């Protein structure tokens, strides 16, 4: 039942977001739209400039001030612009508490959803664990993914709380997918945590069959070998340079 439950999770979300995900992969190597709606190529992706982002999100008088962006995101404010979403997600990696490898205690969610028959109490327990974690780690894509699933089962798909959860999931996906199409190292998806890689693959309905870490031109990439999928994509590239830099600082290297 556990395997079928998590398979159900992917199907549920994919049904709701089929028109939003993997547009570039489903049409060969199409260009990915930049936040300003200009077209980009694999050699000109919208990669985050963390030095500039840090300056912008720390400016209390600016439109990218982090605390205000986070407040609006938590209120599911869909008027946030693509540039503001870019600063919101990648700005989290410039914060003093940034730790892409910290334990996320996801076992609490799994335990809540363990059983042959999932009741309202199961979903409530899962939602509570998810909400508590997101207070500490509001950009965690995996938790937003399961938040949407839990809320859908608790409140129904048409409930405002579920719609807000969907909006938050959609905003995070938009921020990440604006950085590339994931088909090459030059157009890799930029993520601020390794767990976001798996959340994205869940969103795409893809299964990993192998993983490798490569370095190229001073950057670090996770390359995910994929099982057969409807997009015909054999592997996805994720730029995890900011994650590795954080890890190196931790070990003083």
Q: What is the overall mean pLDDT for the chain?
A: 83
pLDDT tier at 141 (50, 70, 90 boundaries)?
very high
Q: Residue 7: CB partners within 8 Å, gap ≥ 6?
A: none
Is residue 19 predicted with pLDDT exceeding 70? no
Is residue 22 predicted with pLDDT exceeding 60? no
Greater model confidence, 3 or 58: 58
- Residue 199 included in any domain: yes
What are the DSSP calls for the chain, one per residue? -HHHHHHHHHHHHHHHHTTTS-TTTBTBSPPPBPTTS-B--TTS-----HHHHHHHHT-TTSTT-HHHHHHHHHTT-TT--HHHHHHHHHHGGGSTT--TT----THHHHHHT-SSS--HHHHHHHHHHHHHHHHH-TT-HHHHHHHHHHHHHHH-TTSHHHHHHHHHHHHHHHHHHTT--SSSSTTPEE-SSHHHHHHHHHHHT--EEEEEEEEETTEEEEEEEE---TT---EEEEE-HHHHHHHHHHTT-
Greater model confidence, 103 or 75: 75
pLDDT score for 253: 54
Give one word for 105, left, alpha or beta, with left for phi > 0 and alpha for psi -120 to 50: left
pLDDT score for 174: 94
Q: What is the mean pLDDT of residues 176-183?
A: 95
pLDDT per position as a tens digit, 153-165 = 999 999 999 999 9
- Residue 30 included in any domain: no
Greater model confidence, 5 or 160: 160
Greater model confidence, 102 or 98: 98
pLDDT per position as a tens digit, 24-59 = 333 223 322 333 433 333 334 589 999 999 999 999
pLDDT score for 24: 32
- Residue 36 included in any domain: no
Residue 120 structural domain: 2-25+41-250
pLDDT score for 117: 87
pLDDT score for 103: 72
**Number of compact structural domains in the chain:** 1
- Residue 198 included in any domain: yes
State how beta strands 219-226 and 208-216 pair: antiparallel
Is residue 135 predicted with pLDDT exceeding 90? yes
- Residue 115 included in any domain: yes
Greater model confidence, 4 or 242: 242
Please, is 120 exposed, middle or buried when counting C-beta atoms within 10 Å of its C-beta (0-12, 13-18, 19+)? exposed
Share of the chain above pLDDT 90, in %: 70
- Residue 33 included in any domain: no
- Residue 35 included in any domain: no
Greater model confidence, 133 or 20: 133
Q: What is this structure's pTM?
A: 0.82
């Amino acid at each position: 039942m556990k395997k079928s439950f998590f398979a159900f999770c992917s199907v549920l979300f994919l049904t709701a977001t089929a028109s939003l995900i993997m547009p570039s992969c489903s049409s060969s190597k199409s260009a990915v739209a930049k936040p300003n709606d200009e077209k980009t190529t694999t050699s000109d992706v919208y990669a985050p400039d963390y030095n500039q982002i840090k300056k912008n999100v720390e400016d209390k008088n600016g439109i990218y001030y982090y605390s205000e962006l986070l407040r609006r995101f938590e209120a599911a404010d869909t008027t946030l612009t693509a540039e503001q979403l870019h600063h919101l997600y990648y700005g989290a990696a410039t914060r003093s508490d940034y730790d892409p490898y910290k334990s996320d205690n996801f076992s609490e969610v799994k335990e809540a959803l363990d059983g042959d028959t999932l009741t309202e109490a199961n979903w409530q327990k899962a939602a509570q664990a998810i909400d508590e974690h997101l207070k500490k780690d509001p950009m965690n894509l995996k938790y937003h993914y399961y938040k949407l699933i839990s809320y859908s089962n608790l409140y129904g798909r048409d409930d405002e709380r579920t719609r807000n959860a969907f909006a938050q999931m959609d905003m995070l996906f938009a921020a990440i997918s604006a950085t590339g199409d994931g088909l090459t190292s030059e157009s890799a998806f930029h993520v601020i945590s390794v767990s976001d890689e798996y959340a994205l693959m869940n969103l795409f309905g893809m299964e990993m069959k192998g993983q490798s870490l490569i370095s190229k031109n001073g950057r670090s990439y996770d390359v995910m070998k994929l099982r057969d999928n409807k997009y015909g994509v054999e592997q996805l590239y994720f730029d995890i340079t900011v994650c590795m830099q954080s890890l190196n600082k931790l070990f003083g290297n």
